[in-house]
């Protein structure tokens, strides 16, 4: 029989969004509510730990920065697809959160005068990325995890893999999960939930993401009838090293690094005369691919075409003080010491602007369920995210959703019967144990995963065409229909083979949504750049894409309006 656990608020995911939400819920609900945080990895293995360059916030209004400018930079960066009330909420809320983290012990890098330091980042009108050397994610995660320890009502469930959402009368009721250490299938009951399962960038092979960054959380919501929004917008960061794809932070250019071609030219001057290397990522990545296509790239020994990032003029001291993490990455994974020589880099899958459709407060279409962080699409980033705005988003919406979920749980206390019909649990058990664990087939699921991610690299990269996208979609559907759904390892304890196959299942559905959204959007906006439709088309496409699950048939696509407040779309120039 299925075991069961109950909490007042459950949080799926223990990255920056999940931890911030847990603290907010615990502080808000005091000891009247209990909180469960479920994570398929150990807390400190969440991808947030890898964040490098900074967290955007306006801190120096006395030196000329202002929140209006943060709002506008975010909206312009988004190519006018962001919901403008959401950008406003971020800019107004994050400064307080930076100081809150400081008070909790975050070791922010500081200026000579003792104030918190900020560095330049792409697409901003002011140095606005608050940083902690080049390991902002690691330090922020540690600070939040430490802070969680102060609350007795936060319970961590590490290495639990959530598989589906339970609901009744359009209200959230909990989730099902596998406790990985013993393989038990468990029903987790809760009136309120927050999905904080992060980004899905492992649907690409060349990717900066941790291997755990697969779309199972987003897919769980999708299968429960909630929309995935704007999934065609995938960010390619200009500087992934070869061949691994590990990130060199934009902070390297923020500190003064140059991008150079094989003529030793700082080519970005041609494409973004004002911002040069610090134009937004979509602009820089496109410029890099153009340089390569026109024969001014380098050939890496792996066979990849690439360009170089030159930091040698920054000097030994600055690099060791402010960019120590990426120096280590260069040494260990490229065999290059960035103090002495330029490093080979190439645009790499780095961020999903899309995710679970939510409103400005992170509320989903299902009563009692919120989503925050990279798994959510509250439409902050629109068609292109500015660097450093994501950790900010996680912290701001972690807090908002944590408090709202706690309030919801308090309101429900004593009134709701938490009964859930067992049918949903049984049908999920059948889906994953009969359909996957005891499945049969000839095709190796890891080969399917590799073909899937290679297809995304080839067919839905920086520049896209109808033909490529359609052939990519055809390939994904072919893969979906092969007999790959089976698990060789039949053990119960720590069966990572089983978990991986469930991840692949979610990856196939999500890749299909990305490709269909990209085919459907016949324009170029932000990170979605169509060679066959090179212009932004506000008359027809100034709107969000929604995709709804339609059993195993193709997803149902529809459009959703953007919220405008004060800023009319104009041409983006940098
Ligand atoms: C290399 C790198 C560097 C970056 N640098 C920066 C930066 O400097 N500044 C910036 O603003 N942004 C940066 N970003 C982006 C930013 O770090 C992420 O968007 C953000 O940290 C995501 O946090 P999250 O809380 O949404 O999820 P994550 O930190 O990705 O955590 C996801 C959580 O969900 C859990 N989970 C997932 N699926 C399941 C499941 N099925 N069951 C149970 N648990 C599940 C995981 O275990 C994990 O705990 C960077 C990203 C990368 C990849």
CATH code of residue 55: 3.50.50.60
State which ligand 1 atom lies nearest to the alpha carbon of 56.
11
State which ligand 1 atom lies nearest to the alpha carbon of 18.
25
Burial class (CB in 10 A: 0-12, 13-18, 19+), 27: middle
Domain containing residue 429? 423-538
Catalytic residues, by residue number, are: 237, 253
Whether 209 is in the pocket of ligand 1, judged by its Cβ within 6 Å, is yes
Lowest mean pLDDT among 202-206, 216-220, 453-457, 549-553: 549-553
My answer on whether 214 and 293 are in the same domain is: no
Residue 416's pLDDT band (cuts 50, 70, 90): low
* Cα 47 to ligand 1 centroid, rounded to whole Å: 4
- What residues contact residue 51 under an 8 Å CB cut-off, 6+ apart? 16, 136, 137, 138, 140, 390, 391
Burial class (CB in 10 A: 0-12, 13-18, 19+), 151: middle
- The total number of structural domains that make up the chain: 3
Whether 247 is in the pocket of ligand 1, judged by its Cβ within 6 Å, is yes
Can you give the pLDDT at residue 160? Answer: 98
Cα 323 to the center of its chain, rounded Å: 23
* Cα 197 to ligand 1 centroid, rounded to whole Å: 7
My answer on whether 340 and 358 are in the same domain is: no
Task: Please choose, from the candidates 224, 226, 223, 190, the residue with its C-alpha nearest in 3D space to the C-alpha of residue 12.
Answer: 190
How far apart are alpha carbons 261 and 267 in whole angstroms? 7
Q: DSSP string of 112-174? A: TTSSBPEE--TT-SS--EE-STT-HHHHHHHHHHHHHTT-TTEEEEETEEEEEEEEETTEEEE
My answer on whether 8 and 152 are in the same domain is: yes
Lookup: tokens for 271: 């494409």
- From 20, 74, 137, the mutation candidate for ligand 1 (largest count of ligand atoms within 8 A of CB) is 137
Task: Please choose, from the candidates 383, 257, 378, the residue with its C-alpha nearest in 3D space to the C-alpha of residue 322.
Answer: 257
Answer whether residue 547 is part of any domain: no
Q: DSSP string of 279-336? A: S-HHHHHHHHHHHHHTT--EE-TTS-EEEEEE-GGG-HHHHHHH-HHHHHHIIIIIS-
Reply yes or no on whether the pLDDT at 562 is more than 80: yes
CATH of residue 516's domain is 1.20.58.100
Whether 196 is in the pocket of ligand 1, judged by its Cβ within 6 Å, is yes
CATH of residue 260's domain is 3.90.700.10
| Crossing angle for the helix pair 84-103 and 67-77, to the nearest 10 degrees | 120
My answer on whether 158 and 225 are in the same domain is: yes
- From 386, 390, 507, the mutation candidate for ligand 1 (largest count of ligand atoms within 8 A of CB) is 390
Lookup: tokens for 444: 């190796």
Percent of the chain residues topping a pLDDT of 70: 99
* Cα 140 to ligand 1 centroid, rounded to whole Å: 12
Pairing of strands 305-310, 160-168: unpaired
Average pLDDT value for residue range 16-24: 98
* Cα 280 to ligand 1 centroid, rounded to whole Å: 21
My answer on whether 144 and 243 are in the same domain is: no
Percent of the chain residues topping a pLDDT of 90: 97
State which ligand 1 atom lies nearest to the alpha carbon of 199.
30
Reply yes or no on whether the pLDDT at 330 is more than 90: yes
My answer on whether 113 and 212 are in the same domain is: yes
**Atom 37, ligand 1: residue with shortest CA distance:** 197
Choosing from 327, 349, 371, the residue where a domain stops is: 349
Q: Is-contact 502 40, C-beta < 8 A?
A: no
Answer whether residue 128 is part of any domain: yes
My answer on whether 40 and 188 are in the same domain is: yes
Answer whether residue 568 is part of any domain: no
My answer on whether 257 and 167 are in the same domain is: no
State which ligand 1 atom lies nearest to the alpha carbon of 136.
8
Lookup: tokens for 338: 């960035």
Whether 213 is in the pocket of ligand 1, judged by its Cβ within 6 Å, is yes
8-state DSSP, 95:
H
Answer whether residue 549 is part of any domain: no
Span 296-319, pLDDT tens digits? 999 999 999 999 999 999 999 999
Reply yes or no on whether the pLDDT at 153 is more than 70: yes
* Cα 181 to ligand 1 centroid, rounded to whole Å: 23
Can you give the pLDDT at residue 417? Answer: 64
pTM: 0.97
Average pLDDT value for residue range 390-395: 98
Whether 398 is in the pocket of ligand 1, judged by its Cβ within 6 Å, is no
Lowest mean pLDDT among 82-96, 287-301, 413-427: 413-427
Burial class (CB in 10 A: 0-12, 13-18, 19+), 30: exposed
* Cα 45 to ligand 1 centroid, rounded to whole Å: 10
Whether 198 is in the pocket of ligand 1, judged by its Cβ within 6 Å, is yes
How far apart are alpha carbons 103 and 94 in whole angstroms? 14
Choosing from 317, 349, 381, the residue where a domain stops is: 349
* Residue 115: CB atoms within 10 Å: 13
My answer on whether 174 and 319 are in the same domain is: no
Answer whether residue 65 is part of any domain: yes
Average pLDDT value for residue range 12-17: 98
Q: What is the mean pLDDT of the chain?
A: 96
My answer on whether 319 and 400 are in the same domain is: no
Residue 477's pLDDT band (cuts 50, 70, 90): very high
My answer on whether 22 and 65 are in the same domain is: yes
Span 359-392, pLDDT tens digits? 999 999 999 999 999 999 999 999 999 999 999 9
* Residue 512: CB atoms within 10 Å: 19
Instruction: Give Cα separations from 325 to 140, 220, 322, 338 (angstroms).
Output: 15, 35, 8, 11
* Residue 127: CB atoms within 10 Å: 17
Answer whether residue 192 is part of any domain: yes
Q: Is-contact 74 557, C-beta < 8 A?
A: no
Answer whether residue 543 is part of any domain: no
My answer on whether 101 and 203 are in the same domain is: yes
Choosing from 314, 333, 349, the residue where a domain stops is: 349
- Core vs surface per residue 297-326: b (16+ CB within 10 A) or e: bbebeeebbbbbbbbbebeeeebeebbebb
How far apart are alpha carbons 210 and 200 in whole angstroms? 10
Average pLDDT value for residue range 120-128: 96
Q: DSSP string of 38-80? A: EESS-GGGSGGGG--S-EE----GGGT--HHHHHHHHHHHTTT
Answer whether residue 175 is part of any domain: yes
* Residue 412: CB atoms within 10 Å: 16
Can you give the pLDDT at residue 421? Answer: 80
């Amino acid at each position: 029989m299925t075991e069961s656990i109950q909490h007042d608020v459950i949080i799926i995911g223990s990255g920056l969004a999940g931890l911030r939400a847990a603290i907010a819920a615990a502080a808000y609900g005091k000891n009247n509510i209990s909180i469960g945080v479920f994570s398929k990895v150990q807390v400190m293995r969440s991808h947030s730990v890898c964040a490098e360059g900074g967290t955007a916030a306006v801190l120096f209004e006395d030196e000329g920065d202002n929140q209006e400018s943060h709002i506008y930079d975010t909206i312009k960066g988004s190519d006018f697809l962001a919901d403008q009330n959401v950008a406003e909420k971020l800019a107004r809320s994050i400064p307080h959160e930076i100081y809150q983290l400081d008070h909790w012990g975050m070791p922010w890098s500081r200026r000579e005068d003792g104030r918190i330091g900020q560095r330049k980042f792409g697409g901003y009108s002011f140095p606005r990325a608050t940083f902690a050397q080049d390991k902002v994610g690691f330090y922020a995660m540690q600070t939040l995890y430490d802070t969680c320890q102060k609350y007795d009502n936060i319970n961590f469930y590490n290495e639990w893999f959530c598989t589906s959402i339970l609901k009744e009368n359009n209200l959230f009721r909990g989730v099902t999960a596998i406790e990985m250490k013993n393989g038990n299938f468990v029903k987790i009951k809760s009136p309120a939930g927050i999905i904080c399962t992060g980004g899905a960038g492992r649907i690409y092979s060349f990717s900066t993401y941790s291997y755990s960054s697969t779309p199972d959380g987003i897919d769980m919501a999708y299968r429960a009838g909630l929309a995935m929004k704007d999934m065609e917008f995938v960010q390619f960061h200009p500087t992934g090293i070869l061949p691994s794809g590990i990130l060199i932070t934009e902070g390297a250019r923020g500190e003064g690094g140059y991008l150079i071609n094989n003529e030793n030219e700082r080519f970005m001057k041609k494409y973004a005369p004002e911002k040069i290397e610090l134009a937004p990522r979509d602009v820089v990545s496109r410029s890099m691919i153009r340089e390569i296509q026109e024969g001014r790239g380098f050939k890496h020994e792996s066979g990849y075409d690439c360009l170089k990032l030159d930091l040698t003029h920054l000097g030994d001291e600055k690099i060791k003080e402010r960019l120590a993490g990426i120096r280590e990455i260069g040494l260990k994974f490229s065999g290059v010491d960035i103090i002495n020589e330029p490093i080979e880099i190439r645009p790499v899958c780095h961020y999903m602007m899309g995710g679970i459709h939510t409103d400005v407060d992170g509320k989903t279409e299902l009563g009692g369920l919120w989503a925050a962080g990279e798994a959510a699409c509250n439409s902050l980033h629109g068609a292109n995210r500015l660097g450093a705005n994501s950790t900010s988003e996680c912290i701001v919406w972690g807090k908002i959703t944590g408090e709202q979920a706690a309030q919801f749980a308090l309101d429900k206390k004593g009134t709701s019967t938490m009964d859930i019909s067992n049918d949903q649990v049984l049908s999920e058990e059948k889906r994953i144990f009969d359909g996957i664990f005891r499945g049969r087939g000839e095709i190796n699921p890891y080969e399917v995963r590799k073909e899937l991610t290679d297809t995304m690299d080839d067919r839905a990269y920086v520049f896209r065409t109808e033909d490529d996208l359609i052939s990519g979609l055809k390939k994904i559907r072919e893969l979906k229909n092969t007999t790959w759904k089976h698990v060789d390892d039949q053990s119960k304890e720590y069966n990572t083979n089983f978990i991986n196959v469930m991840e692949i299942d979610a990856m196939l559905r999500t890749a299909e949504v990305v490709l269909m959204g990209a085919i459907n959007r016949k324009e170029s906006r932000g990170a979605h750049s169509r060679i066959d439709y090179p212009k932004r088309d506000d008359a027809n496409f100034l709107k969000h894409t929604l995709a709804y699950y339609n059993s195993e048939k193709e997803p149902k696509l529809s459009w959703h309006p953007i919220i405008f407040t004060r800023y009319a779309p104009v041409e983006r120039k940098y």
